[in-house]
C-alpha cells in the first residue's frame, strides 16, 4: 500500500528496527550534523582533492552512506521537513521571504523524541518562524519547539562575526563576540558535557548541531585562512577555510562524546540541508544547477549514518531513494529501537499518521550492511515530490525526473536586485495546477498540452543514465512514438499527474495556513533570486555558458566529472579502499 500522494509506502504492521550488529538496550544518543549549502563534492570522502575534512572523513569511513539522498531546494523547507517529516509545500512555506507558523497538529521530531525519554537540544541555525515555538509548539525550554535547550539564531543567515539580531540562548537574546562556527562548537561541547555530568540515567541526548557554514557571507577566521594555500583563488580559500572550520566543529562535538563515554552508544547523522549554490567556490561535482532548483545540483547532497553499535563499522552504500522528510521517521524509529516489538509497531503507526510522506530508511540501511559488501541493489522505484513552488517544481520516480518551470523565470527584469520581489509574479500560483486531469487523453496528448502551455516549460530526465541531466528526453519521446517510447511517455504522464495533484494539494494547504492566520493573506511575490536560479540552468547551452562564466568549481575543474563522483559514492569496493587508506593515514 502507498500513501495518497505516493511519496512513501504505508508502514506495515511488522516494521521493527532489527540491528544487524547488536540490538540496543537503550535509546542511542543522537547527534545530527547539518551543514548549510554544502557542495556535493566539498568533503574529503565525497571526492574533494583540495578541501580537507579529516573529522568528517573519519566518521564516513565507518558509516552507511546514502548516495541517493535528496532534499528540498533551499534552507527553510529543508529544515521544516527535517523537523516534521512533511514537505515544505504542505506546510505553506513560500519563496517570498515570509515563513508560516506551523499548525498545532503538526508533530515535531523533538516532541516524538521527548516522548521517548530524550533530552533535546538545538545548537545553531533554526530558520523558521519562532512564533511556532511560542504559540503552537511551546513545549521544552525557554525557546520552545520541543527543545530543552537552544543556542544560535533563527534566521536564514548570519554575519559570522557580528551575528544576527535573533542570536539567543533558550530564547533570551544575547550579544557575544566570536566566530559563529567556533561558538556553536563550544556550545555543543557544553551541552554534551552537561548531559553527562547530570547523569541522566534514563535520558538519551538528541543534539541537532545545525551549522550555518559554509552558507554566505563567505567569512573565515585568519587562523583557517592561513591554512589554505596562498596560490588558490581567493573565494576558494575562504570557502575551504569555512568548511575546514566546520569540520573542526564536528571533531569537537565527537571528542566531547568520547570524553563523556557517550560515543559508543551514539548515532551520528551527517547531511547538508540542500545542494551547494551557484558560486565559484562551491563544487557540486558536475551536477546541473544548485541551491534553489530541483536539478540534482540543488537537491542531491552528501549524507551518511554512523552507528557502529547497530550497523557495524564497515563502510557501505544504501542505494534506495531517500529524502529529508525521511529523517523524521528514521530518527524516531532509532529512538524507539529499545522498545519491545509491539511498542515499535505502535510508534510506526503513529508516525505514519502524522507524517505519511516520511519513510523509515532502516530497511535500506540494514540491507546494505547485510549485503556483506556485495554490489548494492538498484534504487527502488519510489515516487518522490522534490519541489512544488511557483518558479519550478519536480517529481521523481526511480531514475525518471520530470521538471516544470514557469516561463517568466526565463525573462526576468534586469534592473531588479536579487533580493527584490518580481512584480506580478505570485509566489502562491503553482505552474500547471490548472492543466486539468488527464481524463481520456493519451499520455502523449496530455504531455503535449503541458509542453505547449504558454506559461510553462517541461523537461524529462533519466538521472540513472544521465546524472548530469544533460539530455531532455521529452521532445524526442513525443516525436518518435516507438513501443519503448510509449512506456516512457506513460511514466512521464504518471509523473505529470502526480505533480498536478501535488500542486493542488499545495494550494489547499496554503489556503488553510492563511485561513488559520498562520501566514498573512497579503500578496506574496516571488523573490528574484529563486527565479534567477531557474534561468541559470534551464537551457542546457545557457547552463554550460553560465558554468564557465561563474567559474564553478574554480581550481577544481577535474572534480566536475559527475559520473565518477556518483560511482565512487555508490560503490562498496571504492568505499572500502578509501576507508583502508584513511586508516593507514590515521596510524
Q: For the domain that residue 52 is a member of, what is the CATH number?
A: 3.40.720.10
In a domain, 374, yes or no: yes
Whether 257 and 354 map to the same domain: the answer is yes
Cα 386 from Cα 382, distance rounded (Å)? 12
Provide mean pLDDT across the span 5-22.
63
Q: Residue 452 falls within a domain, yes or no? A: yes
Q: Are the C-beta atoms of 493 and 446 separated by less than 8 Å? A: yes
The C-alpha angle 525, 540, 323, rounded to 5 degrees, equals 65
Cis peptide before 214 (omega within 30 of 0): yes
329 and 407 assigned to the same domain? no
pLDDT value at residue 480: 78
Is 418 found in the same domain as 370? no
Q: Which pLDDT band, with edges at 50, 70 and 90, does 572 fall under?
A: low
The pLDDT of residue 376 is 57
Cell reading at 238: 575562504
Region label for 224, one of left (φ > 0), alpha (ψ between -120 and 50) or beta (otherwise): alpha
Going by DSSP bridges, is the β-strand pair 29-35/205-210 parallel, antiparallel, or unpaired?
parallel
Question: Are residues 145 and 241 part of one domain?
Answer: yes
Do 441 and 491 belong together in one domain?
A: yes
- In this model, does residue 35 exceed pLDDT 90? yes
Domain-located, residue 56: yes
Length of the chain: 587
Closest by alpha carbon to 45, among 35, 60, 29, 32? 60
Helix (H, G, I), strand (E, B) or coil at 509: helix
Higher pLDDT, 499 or 14: 499
> Beta strands 303-306 and 266-272: pairing type?
antiparallel
pLDDT at 12: 41
312: three-class secondary structure by DSSP = coil
- 156-214: pLDDT as tens digits: 999 999 999 999 999 999 999 999 999 999 999 999 999 999 876 578 999 999 999 99
Does 292 reside within a domain? yes
- Grid cell locating 282: 562551491
Q: 230 and 93 in one domain? A: yes
Q: Above 80 in pLDDT, residue 269? A: yes
528 and 397, same structural domain?
yes
If we measure between CA atoms, which residue out of 581, 559, 574, 535 comes closest to residue 283? Answer: 559
For residue 43, the 8-state DSSP code is S
Examine the pLDDT at 37 and tell me if it is beyond 80. Answer: yes
User: For residue 159, how many other CB atoms are within 10 A of its CB?
Assistant: 10
Are residues 147 and 276 located together in one domain of the fold? yes
Are the C-beta atoms of 184 and 124 separated by less than 8 Å?
Answer: yes
Average pLDDT value for the chain: 90
Task: Let me know: does 466 contact 455? Beta carbons within 8 Å.
Answer: no
Least confidently predicted of 68-82, 312-326, 568-582: 568-582
Q: What integer pLDDT is reported at residue 9 of this predicted model? A: 45
Task: Count the domains in the chain.
Answer: 2
pLDDT of residue 348: 93
What was the pLDDT predicted at 232? 94
What is the C-alpha to C-alpha distance for residues 269 and 303, in angstroms, rounded to an integer? 7
pLDDT at 549: 87
- Residue 586 near residue 84 (C-beta atoms within 8 A): no
457 pLDDT higher than 50: yes
Give me the helix-helix angle, 572-586 and 562-570, nearest 10°: 80
Chain segment 505-520, per-residue pLDDT in tens:
999 999 999 999 999 8
> 579 vs 110, which has greater pLDDT?
110
pLDDT(583) > 90: no
Q: Is the pLDDT of residue 109 over 60?
A: yes
Mean pLDDT of 373-380: 62
Q: Residue 534: is its pLDDT beyond 90?
A: yes
Residue 355, pLDDT score: 95
In-domain check, residue 9: no
Residue 133: CA count within 13 A, CB half-sphere:
23
Within a domain: 277: yes
pLDDT given for residue 486 in this prediction: 85
Domain range enclosing 167: 29-380+563-586
Mean pLDDT (whole number) for 40-51:
92
> Is 8 within 8 Å of 357 (Cβ atoms)?
yes
Reported as a single tens digit per residue, the pLDDT across 400-431 is 999 999 999 998 988 889 999 999 999 998 88
Same domain, yes or no, for 322 and 391? Answer: no
Instruction: Considering only residues 47 and 142, tell me which one the structure prediction assigns the higher pLDDT.
Output: 142
Instruction: Tell me if 3 is assigned to some domain.
Output: no
* Alpha carbons 409 and 405: distance in angstroms, whole number: 8
**Whether residue 584 has pLDDT greater than 60:** no
pLDDT at 574: 64
User: For residue 233, is pLDDT > 60?
Assistant: yes
User: For the segment 475-488, what is each residue's pLDDT rounded down to a tens digit?
Assistant: 888 887 656 688 89
Q: Which three cell numbers stand for residue 192?
A: 554534551
| pLDDT value, residue 2 | 42
Q: Are 270 and 43 in contact (CB under 8 A)?
A: no
What does the pLDDT read at residue 15? 72
Q: Residue 555: inside a domain, yes or no?
A: no
* CB-CB neighbours of 170 under 10 Å: 15
**pLDDT surpasses 80 at 88:** yes
Percent of the chain whose predicted confidence (pLDDT) is above 90: 75
Tell me the mean pLDDT in the region 349-364. 94
Query: Is the CB of residue 297 less than 8 Å from the CB of residue 40?
Result: yes
3-state secondary structure 15-65: CCCCCCCCCCCCCCEEEEEEECCCCCCCCCCCCCCCCCCHHHHHHHCCCEE
pLDDT at residue 478, as a whole number: 87
Answer yes or no: do 88 and 103 share one domain: yes
**pLDDT given at position 582:** 60
pLDDT, position 431: 84
pLDDT at 481: 63
Mean pLDDT of 116-144: 96
Interval 101-122 mean pLDDT? 96
- In this model, does residue 1 exceed pLDDT 70? no
Cα–Cα distance between 167 and 151 in angstroms, integer? Answer: 8
**Mean pLDDT confidence for 132-148:** 96
For residue 228, the model assigns a pLDDT of 97
Least confident of 8-12, 89-93, 137-141: 8-12
Mean pLDDT to the nearest integer, 68-77: 96
Q: Is the pLDDT at 312 greater than 90, yes or no?
A: yes
| Integer-rounded Cα radius of gyration of the chain | 23
pLDDT confidence tier of residue 579, bands split at 50, 70 and 90: low
Looking at the structure, do residues 271 and 147 belong to the same domain, yes or no?
yes
Cell of 264: 559508543
User: What is the rounded CA–CA span in Å between residue 164 and residue 175?
Assistant: 10
Beta strands 69-70 and 322-323, pairing class: parallel
Q: Band of the pLDDT at 47, cuts 50, 70, 90? A: confident
Residues 398 and 454 in one domain: yes
Amino acid at each position: 500500500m502507498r500513501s495518497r500522494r505516493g511519496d512513501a509506502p504505508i508502514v506495515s504492521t511488522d516494521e521493527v528496527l532489527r540491528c544487524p550488529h547488536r540490538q540496543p538496550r537503550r535509546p542511542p544518543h543522537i547527534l545530527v550534523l547539518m551543514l548549510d549549502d554544502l557542495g556535493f563534492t566539498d568533503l574529503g570522502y565525497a571526492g574533494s582533492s583540495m578541501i580537507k575534512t579529516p573529522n568528517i572523513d573519519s566518521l564516513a569511513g565507518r558509516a552507511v552512506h546514502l548516495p541517493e539522498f535528496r532534499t528540498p531546494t533551499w534552507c527553510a523547507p529543508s529544515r521544516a521537513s527535517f523537523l516534521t517529516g512533511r514537505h515544505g509545500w504542505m506546510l505553506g512555506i513560500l519563496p517570498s521571504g515570509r515563513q508560516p507558523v506551523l499548525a498545532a497538529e503538526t508533530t515535531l521530531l523533538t516532541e516524538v523524541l521527548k516522548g521517548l525519554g530524550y533530552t533535546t537540544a538545538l545548537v545553531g541555525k533554526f530558520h523558521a518562524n519562532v512564533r511556532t515555538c511560542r504559540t503552537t509548539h511551546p513545549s521544552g525550554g525557554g525557546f520552545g519547539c520541543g527543545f530543552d535547550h537552544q543556542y544560535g539564531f533563527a534566521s536564514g543567515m548570519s554575519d559570522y562575526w557580528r551575528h544576527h539580531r535573533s542570536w539567543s540562548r533558550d530564547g533570551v537574546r544575547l550579544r557575544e563576540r566570536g566566530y559563529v562556527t567556533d561558538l556553536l562548537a563550544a556550545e555543543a561541547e557544553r551541552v554534551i558535557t552537561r548531559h553527562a555530568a547530570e547523569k541522566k540515567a534514563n535520558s538519551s541526548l538528541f543534539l541537532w548541531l545545525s551549522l550555518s557554514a559554509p552558507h554566505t557571507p563567505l567569512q573565515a577566521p585568519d587562523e583557517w585562512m592561513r591554512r589554505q594555500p596562498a596560490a588558490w583563488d581567493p573565494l576558494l580559500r575562504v570557502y575551504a577555510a569555512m568548511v575546514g572550520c566546520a569540520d573542526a566543529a564536528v571533531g569537537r562535538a565527537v571528542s566531547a562524546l568520547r570524553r563523556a563515554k557517550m560515543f559508543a552508544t551514539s548515532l551520528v547523522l551527517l547531511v547538508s540541508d540542500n545542494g551547494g549554490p551557484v558560486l565559484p567556490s562551491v563544487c557540486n561535482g558536475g551536477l546541473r544547477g544548485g541551491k534553489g532548483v530541483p536539478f540534482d545540483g540543488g537537491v542531491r547532497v552528501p549524507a551518511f549514518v554512523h552507528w557502529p553499535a547497530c550497523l557495524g563499522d564497515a563502510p557501505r552504500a544504501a542505494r534506495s531513494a531517500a529524502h529529508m522528510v525521511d529523517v523524521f521517521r528514521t530518527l524516531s524509529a532509532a529512538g524507539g529501537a529499545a522498545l519491545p516489538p509491539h511498542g515499535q509497531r505502535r510508534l510506526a503507526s503513529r508516525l505514519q499518521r502524522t507524517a505519511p510522506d516520511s519513510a523509515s530508511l532502516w530497511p535500506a540501511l540494514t540491507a546494505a550492511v547485510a549485503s556483506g559488501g556485495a554490489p548494492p541493489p538498484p534504487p527502488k522505484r519510489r515516487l518522490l515530490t522534490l519541489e512544488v513552488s511557483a518558479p519550478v517544481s519536480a517529481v521523481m520516480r526511480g531514475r525518471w525526473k520530470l521538471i516544470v518551470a514557469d516561463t517568466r523565470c526565463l525573462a526576468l527584469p534586469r534592473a531588479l536586485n536579487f533580493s527584490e520581489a518580481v512584480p506580478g509574479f505570485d509566489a502562491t500560483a503553482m505552474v500547471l495546477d490548472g492543466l486539468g486531469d488527464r481524463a481520456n487523453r493519451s499520455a502523449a496528448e496530455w504531455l503535449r498540452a503541458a509542453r505547449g502551455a504558454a506559461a510553462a516549460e517541461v523537461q524529462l530526465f533519466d538521472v540513472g543514465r544521465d546524472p548530469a541531466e544533460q539530455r531532455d528526453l521529452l521532445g524526442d519521446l513525443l516525436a518518435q512514438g516507438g513501443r519503448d517510447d510509449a512506456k516512457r511517455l506513460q511514466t512521464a504522464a504518471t509523473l505529470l499527474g502526480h505533480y498536478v495533484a501535488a500542486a493542488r494539494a499545495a494550494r489547499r494547504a496554503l489556503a488553510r495556513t492563511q485561513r488559520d492566520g498562520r501566514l498573512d493573506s497579503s500578496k506574496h511575490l516571488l523573490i528574484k533570486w529563486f527565479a534567477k536560479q531557474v534561468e541559470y540552468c534551464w537551457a542546457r547551452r545557457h547552463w554550460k555558458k553560465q558554468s564557465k562564466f561563474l567559474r564553478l568549481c574554480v581550481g577544481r575543474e577535474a572534480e566536475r566529472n559527475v559520473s565518477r563522483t556518483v560511482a565512487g559514492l555508490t560503490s562498496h569496493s571504492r568505499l572500502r579502499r578509501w576507508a583502508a587508506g584513511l586508516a593507514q593515514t590515521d596510524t
